[in-house]
């Protein structure tokens, strides 16, 4: 019993650490890629290849002066970024990071909580993510912030619907809401029976919606610099701003993990059970495979950011309501028909 608890604690700590480190180095990667796409070098002063740049940035954010606007609602002003950070970190609890490792005959799953309604939990936390933006934007008492917050809210509400609908189509195939069970179902055909093959349309919709939910370009209207001077975080400075920026990168990391788990086989990798390796090695390799998938997704996020221009607000709404939702419903109907046909 105790070994389970100790292991869970270690797991939680390491997941938390890993997401922070990934998020930190995502900032560097983003700037490096930006440099690459724009044919320039990117940060290269702090350490070799600019490797210490995230540390320097963190230090800068920590030591800058705390500014709280006089007309702002102090408590809510502080609650905004904290909520954003909290919701960003909560999802990682239900993601299965690997199969399980065996210590002294104990089976220790590499997942913090395998709850029965894992997908619903992820969905719920994602829908809570908007509070950080809204409360922060409102509490700043600045019209640009408020506009950004309102944009964020309407964007998140709109895209949540098609996200939920695309998940429903997936759940119709899996027959389960547990993340682990869904991952295990994808281990067939030498670990390559991925749901992206059965749900290409669903995956596409989910992908677009994750861009919108994480407020990444081309959906970064809540914080677009050119019209809203930074949107909901216009009034924020120092580490509070850091929290918002950080939460965005953690969100990106987590949604990559969710996509990899739901549609790309999670910790399954090709021929994982055919190599004749011991359980612990397979588990570790699985974790590695999952991380490679996640990093590829993160790269995709950045690739899109530096390639595609930002939507106009009406285009964003039209895409959400008039394209994605009908497509998602069509996807459900087709999936239902196919499931019935093969029953």
Partner 1 sequence: MDKMFYFLAFLAILSALMVVLVKNPIHSILYLLVTFTSITGHYILFNAQFLAAVNFIVYMGAIMVLFLFVIMFLNLNGETEPQKSTLVKFAGVISGGLLLLVMVASFKKAVTIPLNTEVDTQIGLIKNLGMVLFKDYALPFELASVLFLVAMIGAVMLAKKDWK
77 binds partner 1 (CB under 8 A): no
* Token representation of residue 137: 């934007």
- Write down the least CB distance from residue 116 to partner 1, Å: 5
* Token representation of residue 188: 């067939």
83-to-69, 74, 76, 130 alpha-carbon distances in Å:
19, 14, 10, 9
Cα 293 from Cα 36, distance rounded (Å): 22
* Token representation of residue 245: 């920026």
User: How many angstroms from the chain centroid is the CA of residue 25?
Assistant: 15
121 binds partner 1 (CB under 8 A): yes
- The residue (of 77 and 297) whose beta carbon lies closer to partner 1 is 77
What is the number of alpha carbons within 13 Å of residue 135 lying toward its C-beta? 19
- Among the listed ranges 26-34, 129-137, 231-239, 244-252, the one in contact with partner 1 (CB under 8 A) is 129-137
Residue the block writes with tokens 């400075």: 237
The single residue among 77, 100, 123, 269 that binds partner 1, judged by CB under 8 A, is 123
160 binds partner 1 (CB under 8 A): yes
316 binds partner 1 (CB under 8 A): no
Length of the chain in terms of residues written = 343
- The residue (of 28 and 119) whose beta carbon lies closer to partner 1 is 119
Cα 191 from Cα 60, distance rounded (Å): 45
- The residue (of 33 and 138) whose beta carbon lies closer to partner 1 is 138
112-to-179, 217, 236 alpha-carbon distances in Å:
12, 31, 33
157 binds partner 1 (CB under 8 A): yes
- The residue (of 42 and 129) whose beta carbon lies closer to partner 1 is 129
The contact mask relative to partner 1 for 91-120 (x = CB under 8 A, - = no) is ------------------------xxx--x
Name the site residues for partner 1 (rule: CB under 8 A).
76, 115-117, 120-121, 123-128, 130-131, 134-135, 137-138, 146, 149-150, 153-154, 156-157, 160, 177
């Amino acid at each position: 019993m105790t070994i389970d608890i100790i292991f869970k604690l270690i797991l939680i700590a390491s997941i938390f650490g890993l997401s922070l480190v990934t998020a930190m180095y995502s900032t560097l990667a983003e700037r490096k890629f930006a440099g690459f796409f724009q044919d320039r070098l990117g940060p290269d002063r702090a350490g070799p290849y600019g490797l210490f740049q995230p540390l320097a940035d963190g230090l800068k954010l920590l030591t800058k002066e705390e500014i709280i606007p006089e007309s702002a609602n102090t408590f809510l002003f502080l609650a905004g970024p904290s909520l954003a950070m909290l919701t960003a970190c909560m999802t990682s609890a239900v993601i299965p990071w690997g199969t399980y490792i065996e210590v002294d005959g104990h089976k220790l799953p590499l997942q913090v909580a395998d709850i029965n309604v894992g997908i619903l939990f992820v969905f719920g936390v994602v829908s809570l993510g908007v509070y950080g933006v809204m409360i922060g934007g409102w509490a700043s008492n600045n019209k640009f912030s408020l506009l950004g917050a309102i944009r964020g809210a309407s964007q998140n509400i709109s895209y949540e619907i098609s996200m939920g609908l695309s998940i429903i189509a997936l759940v119709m195939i899996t027959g389960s809401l547990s993340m682990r069970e869904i991952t295990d179902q994808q281990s067939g055909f030498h670990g390559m029976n991925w749901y992206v093959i059965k749900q290409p349309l669903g995956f596409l919709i989910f992908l677009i919606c994750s861009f919108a939910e994480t407020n990444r370009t081309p959906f970064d209207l809540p914080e677009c610099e050119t019209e809203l001077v930074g949107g909901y975080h216009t009034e924020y400075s120092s580490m509070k701003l850091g929290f918002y920026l950080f939460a965005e990168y953690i969100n990106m990391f987590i949604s990559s993990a969710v996509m990899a788990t739901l549609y790309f086989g999670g910790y399954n990798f090709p021929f994982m059970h055919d190599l004749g390796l011991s359980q612990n090695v397979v588990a570790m390799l699985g974790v590695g495979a999952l991380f490679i998938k996640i990093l590829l997704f993160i790269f995709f996020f950045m690739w899109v950011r530096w390639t595609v221009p930002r939507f106009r607000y009406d285009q964003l709404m039209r895409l959400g309501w008039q394209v994605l939702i009908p497509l998602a419903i069509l996807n459900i109907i087709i999936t239902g028909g196919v499931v019935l046909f093969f029953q």
